[in-house]
Amino acid sequence: MAISAKNIIMIAISLIIISIILPIALTYTAVIPVQEVVVNNVTYTVGDQVDSSLITMLTILIPLMALIGILLAYVQYTRTD
Would the pLDDT of 81 be above 60?
no
Please return the burial class of 62, using the count of CB atoms within 10 Å of its CB with bins 0-12, 13-18 and 19+: middle
Torsion angle of C-alpha atoms 32, 38, 43, 44, degrees rounded to 10 = -30
Q: Residue 13's pLDDT is what?
A: 85
Mean pLDDT score, 10-29: 78
Say how far apart CA 38 and CA 19 lie, in whole Å.
36
Give the confidence band of 1 by pLDDT, cuts at 50, 70, 90.
low
What number of other Cβ atoms are within 10 A of residue 49's Cβ?
11
* pLDDT given for residue 2 in this prediction: 65
Q: Where are the domains of the chain?
A: 5-78
48/53 Cα distance (integer angstroms): 13
- Per residue in 41-80, pLDDT tens? 887 776 656 667 777 777 788 778 888 887 887 777 776 6
